[in-house]
Structure 1
Amino acid sequence: MAQINAVYYVSDSNEFIEEKAEKMATGLTAKPWQEMPEAEKQESFAYKGKVVSINEDPSYGEGSIVTISFPVAYEVPDFPSILTTTYGRLSYEPNVKLLDLQFSNDLVERFPGPLYGIEGIRDLVEVEGRPLAMSVAKGAIGRSIDSFHEQMLAHSYGGIDIIQDDERLFEHNWTPYEQRVPAGLAAIAEAAERTGRTPLYVVNLTGKTFELKERAREAIGLGAPALMLNVYAYGIDVLQGLREDPEIDVPIFAHSSLTGMMTRSKQHGIASRLLLGKLLRMAGADAVLFPSPYGRIGINPEEAQRVKDQLTMTTQMKRAFPIPSAGIDFQTIATVRQDFGEDVIINLGGSVHRYKGGVEAGGKAFIEALNNAN
């Protein structure tokens, strides 16, 4: 039987923590009621959560680190069921935060993991030995397709490795993806005649949930070389479904929009290392955008490193690119490279757009700063 150990930070007083931990274990799984026949009670108890350990961790201050083991009776790679089991009812508790889920190997093997991962994306952009440079088509919202083409052209001439649609660029009349994808690719091809380089264009996949697979196939049919999904706006199961579709055979970039409500509190919610690191990699993300530790909306440096570690540590799955985002400017590039190493995508959006010489000059300055940031 597959097994999951869930690790929680319980910020209540340590008094009565054993009793609380036991209630957590039974309340989330099988808690027979008094009138149930004894034989049925024993069957139910076979699937009850078990308290593995209760420890103190000074880095969290007061409270306890509680580990509970859950037998996974259904043995299917199903994140909605797993998260409902390990945190569903507890999500109403103000003083319990889910820090980690530790999966038995037989369960991990049933999740897809990245299709391309770090090495595959490097092959697509033909860049080794340094972090990759990414910028965002920020000026496309509310603008025409011609304006979008010019912006993509400027990014491409600037030498950017990866150009991403803004996560708020939805299917509006001014830039429907039926026009946006060909216009972006035409700009990239035009610039490549002079530069000899082809950046990776990441197309924002949006629409109603049950239409997403078809929309993804259509975008790929138009030539989209990579897709981006606002994962937690749709649900992590949607990401896994896209990854497991054999016709959706391009890298998938996962955006962390909406996760702040689940990760920001120290006493409640789900830790970034799990929500943005381990789970997204298991579900099939090739690269993950998450709040950098350098801006006002960022996560703390220690947790950012834990996200990076979950995405890049050596396991049976391919490694996924971390993309710390927001709060990064030209002065921060060297710090990002020092903190995250070579296998990171550095994301400069506003700084490239605001550059005094325009987007093309901003892109060139970005690459120069990246090459000098050793």
Structure 2
Amino acid sequence: AVAAESSTGTWTTVWTDGLTSLDRYKGRCYGIEPVLGEENQYIAYVAYPLDLFEEGSVTNMFTSIVGNVFGFKALRALRLEDLRIPTAYVKTFQGPPHGIQVERDKLNKYGRPLLGCTIKPKLGLSAKNYGRAVYECLRGGLDFTKDDENVNSQPFMRWRDRF
């Protein structure tokens, strides 16, 4: 059910199944092992056809594999333990437009790791208080901060006001 839910989006038959070659796009569970010493817990090995993923898109790949399925009501719990990406798919990633050296040059920081954090709470701060948190982080010695994935340009904290 996990393989189907995280690939074709359904673990049961629906009428639109007949409109596609569903088997070509379904994730496949190719092995199940019980977790030693744990009752009713299993390790499932799932493989996905590469055609399911947009070339070069880490976001699409992770959203497909770990997105919606973690809310799947048929499961009591689910955890991703390992992810192996085929070389053919890895080769589609172009990498960042520039490397770490450009970042180091912009920040004038060399000879040590760059240090950063995500501002918390991720939602609820006003733009002014968010800016204050960023300022304090940078003043305290961090090299950068980043927005949490839920932070966009909400009415209480517009991007321009934070910037």
| TM-score of the two chains, using structure 2 as the length reference | 0.51
Out of 101, 110, 113, the residue aligned to residue 127 of structure 1 is: 110
Cα distance in 2 for residues equivalent to 1:117 and 1:68: 33
Partner AA of 1:72 in structure 2: L
Q: How far has the Cα of 1:96 moved from its partner?
A: 1.2
More strand by share: 1
More helix by share: 1
Counterpart of 1:108 in structure 2 is 90
Q: How far has the Cα of 1:70 moved from its partner?
A: 1.1
Distance 1:127 1:68, change over 3 A: same
Structure 1 stretches lacking a partner, 5+ long: 1-22, 168-227, 235-374
Q: SS where residue 79 of structure 2 aligns?
A: strand
Structure 2 stretches lacking a partner, 5+ long: 119-126, 153-163
Cα distance in 2 for residues equivalent to 1:135 and 1:70: 33
Partner AA of 2:63 in structure 1: L
Counterpart of 1:83 in structure 2 is 63
Counterpart of 1:66 in structure 2 is 44
Distance 1:118 1:99, change over 3 A: farther
Q: How far has the Cα of 1:100 moved from its partner?
A: 3.8
Q: How far has the Cα of 1:69 moved from its partner?
A: 0.6
Counterpart of 2:148 in structure 1 is 230
Is 2:6–2:68's contact at 8 Å kept on the other side of the alignment? Answer: yes
Counterpart of 2:3 in structure 1 is 25
Is 1:32–1:45's contact at 8 Å kept on the other side of the alignment? Answer: no
Q: How far has the Cα of 1:88 moved from its partner?
A: 1.6
Partner AA of 1:109 in structure 2: K
Is 1:32–1:41's contact at 8 Å kept on the other side of the alignment? Answer: no
The percent of aligned pairs where both chains have the same amino acid is 19
Is 2:7–2:52's contact at 8 Å kept on the other side of the alignment? Answer: no
Give the total of aligned pairs: 133
2:37 corresponds to 1:55: no
Q: SS where residue 31 of structure 2 aligns?
A: strand
User: Could you report, residue by residue, the CA deviation over 1:248-271 in whole angstroms, capped at 9, with x for unpaired residues?
Assistant: xxxxxxxxxxxxxxxxxxxxxxxx
Distance 1:87 1:54, change over 3 A: farther
Cα distance in 2 for residues equivalent to 1:134 and 1:86: 25
Q: How far has the Cα of 1:50 moved from its partner?
A: 1.4
**Counterparts of 1:31-50 in structure 2 under 5 Å?**
33=13, 40=18, 43-50=21-28
Cα distance in 1 for residues equivalent to 2:46 and 2:117: 42
Cα distance in 2 for residues equivalent to 1:81 and 1:102: 12
**Counterparts of 1:1-374 in structure 2 under 5 Å?**
23-30=1-8, 33=13, 40=18, 43-56=21-34, 62=38, 63-77=41-55, 78=57, 79-80=59-60, 83-84=63-64, 86-92=66-72, 93-124=75-106, 125-128=108-111, 130-132=112-114, 141=128, 155=139, 160=141, 162=143, 164=144, 228-234=146-152
Larger Rg computed on CA atoms: 1
Is 2:4–2:27's contact at 8 Å kept on the other side of the alignment? Answer: yes
Cα distance in 1 for residues equivalent to 2:115 and 2:66: 37
Cα distance in 2 for residues equivalent to 1:44 and 1:161: 49
Distance 1:102 1:135, change over 3 A: closer
User: Could you report, residue by residue, the CA deviation over 1:20-49 in whole angstroms, capped at 9, with x for unpaired residues?
Assistant: xxx322344356738889xx5993222222
Is 2:35–2:43's contact at 8 Å kept on the other side of the alignment? Answer: yes
Q: SS where residue 55 of structure 1 aligns?
A: strand
Is 2:54–2:60's contact at 8 Å kept on the other side of the alignment? Answer: no
User: Could you report, residue by residue, the CA deviation over 1:141-197 in whole angstroms, capped at 9, with x for unpaired residues?
Assistant: 55xx9xx7xx89x94xx9x572x4xx6xxxxxxxxxxxxxxxxxxxxxxxxxxxxxx
Cα distance in 2 for residues equivalent to 1:68 and 1:135: 33
Partner AA of 2:89 in structure 1: L
Counterpart of 1:248 in structure 2 is none
